[in-house]
Chains A and B, each alone.
Chain A
Amino acid sequence: MSAPPLPQACSAMLRRDLTLAWRRRGDLAMPVLYAVIVAVLFPFALGPDLALLQRIAGGVVLVTVLLAMLLALDAMFASDIEDGSLEQLVLSPQPLALMLGMKILAHWLATALPLIVIAPLLAGMLHLPPAAMPALLLALLFATPLLSLLGAVLVALTAGTRRSGMLLALMLLPLCVPVVIFAAGAVAAAQQGLPWLAPIAWLAAALILCVVLAPLACAAALRIALDS
């Protein structure tokens, strides 16, 4: 039996993961719900002062989305490890990095995209000026795949361990600091009426680097974690 051609294998992988995600729609709604709850709590904790909320809105939305993604990251490979399909993927003739890249893409489509869709709503609730909205959306559009890719490497590393959500957060924090800095920098610059394209360009450059390297690193990490 010959292996199916690469494009077919990729699309099959993507379709499988998206179907699985769609079958568990309730799980998909969880990060969105979480983000809404966190964003709603901020005005209560800080008081409904318009100027203050406007100032922090961009950062709050960014961090909220990041935390919501962290919540969902843990599940990226969990069910595949439980039913053994990840081992099958490692043994398959297709390059593992590419297959994992498809899995990461599916995960991003299922968890990050809904968060980006509701981000304007969250920002609106916190009175982010409309002028800064394009910067926020663009920053999220580049920052969330970056987090998915970086997170996938770390999730792959912890694949062989007992469930360890806190450990994942501890490991992801150093890697996501620059992402948050640049994304927040873009939003802050837009709010002050300054040119905000430079930090976005940095994010895009980092994203391109990660799209190439992270699946390879993810594959290497997975081989280490499953090797026993």
Chain B
Amino acid sequence: MSTWIPLWLHKLGSPPTFYRVAGAVRPWAMGLALLCGAIGLYGGLVLAPADYQQGDAYRIIFIHVPSAWMSMFIYAVMGAAAFVALVWRVKLAEVVAMESAPIGAAFTFITLVTGSLWGKPMWGTWWTWDARLTSELVLLFLYLGVIGLYHAFEDRRQGARAAGFLAIIGIINVPIVHWSVTWWNTLHQGSTVNVFGHSKMPWDMLWPLLMVMLATKAYYAASLCRRARTDLLALESGKDWVRQVAETEAGR
């Protein structure tokens, strides 16, 4: 029992195996993302009741909150993968870390945009310099720094290691984003949804939110699979297995 898990991980870490597995996982993950996204958004935008105070404007949380969760989750994944890449020099971990960065940056950007769209009618301002907003903006800059550093190197593996190091330094910001609403007295409200305890949200509003959250997770998996596959082909372009892949693709 205890030996097959590391063995399986070792196998998955090899680029040809991962290429195959990712190709098989991707359509399912994408399908799950589309299905959950459609159900969740229908539930959130149509079925869920309007808020007693904010009216219909609160519905933006069905995009905002899952994106915000993903912006932190992807950064954590990127940091963990970068750590694995630096310590054990696993090529696949470098690919996962570097291909996560643009997806995470996109989610962070969506979080900031939807947040300010909601802030205008609710707070009366697009932007305010409170701790949650600022730390989320800093997160976006961290993502951009990682992407920029990765592309500044001519050798991609060296770039991935350097950018991974930056990602590990920046991971200190993730807990700051998460607990900023507790540590400081912010305009941004505290967390309403609690995974391990009682959520301060009625079930009618909660289930679409969790559904969209599942959709964003599945979308991340699908997108990462696609990006990592492309990146692996480019990185391993001289290898035999890539030639075989190219030949089967050409034969079809």
Contact = CB atoms under 8 A, between A and B. Distances in A.
Given A160-B158, A227-B158, 13 more contacts: A154-B166, A158-B149, A160-B153, A160-B162, A161-B152, A161-B153, A170-B148, A173-B138, A173-B145, A174-B142, A177-B134, A224-B162, A225-B162
B169 interface: yes
B40 to A, nearest CB: 32
A220 B149 CA distance: 16
Contacts of B141: 170, 173-174
B240 interface: no
B13 interface: no
Interface residues of A, number: 22
A41 interface: no
A225 B155 CA distance: 10
Across chains A and B, which 9 residue pairs bring their CB atoms closest together, nearest first? Answer: A171-B145, A161-B152, A174-B138, A174-B141, A224-B161, A157-B162, A174-B142, A167-B148, A170-B145
A173 B139 CA distance: 11
Contacts of B155: 228
Contacts, number: 59
A221 interface: yes
Question: Which of the listed residues B86, B142, B152 has the most CB atoms from chain A within 10 Å of its own CB?
Answer: B152
Interface string A4-35: 00000000000000000000000000000000
Contacts of A158: 149, 152, 162
Interface of A: 153-154, 157-158, 160-162, 164, 167, 170-171, 173-175, 177, 217, 220-221, 224-225, 227-228
B119 interface: no
Interface of B: 86, 134, 138-139, 141-142, 144-145, 148-149, 152-153, 155, 158, 161-162, 165-166, 169-170, 173
- Interface of chain B, helix or strand or loop or mixed? helix
B173 A174 contact: yes
Contacts of B158: 160, 224-225, 227-228
A153 B141 CA distance: 17
Contacts of A170: 141, 144-145, 148
Contacts of B170: 174-175
Contacts of A225: 158, 162
A221 B148 contact: no
Question: Which of the listed residues A161, A173, A221 has the most CB atoms from chain B within 10 Å of its own CB?
Answer: A161
B149 A167 contact: yes
Contacts of A175: 169-170
A162 to B, nearest CB: 7
20 contacts: A153-B169, A157-B165, A158-B152, A161-B153, A170-B141, A170-B145, A170-B148, A171-B148, A171-B166, A173-B141, A174-B138, A174-B141, A174-B170, A217-B165, A224-B162, A224-B165, A225-B162, A227-B161, A228-B155, A228-B158
A175 B172 CA distance: 10
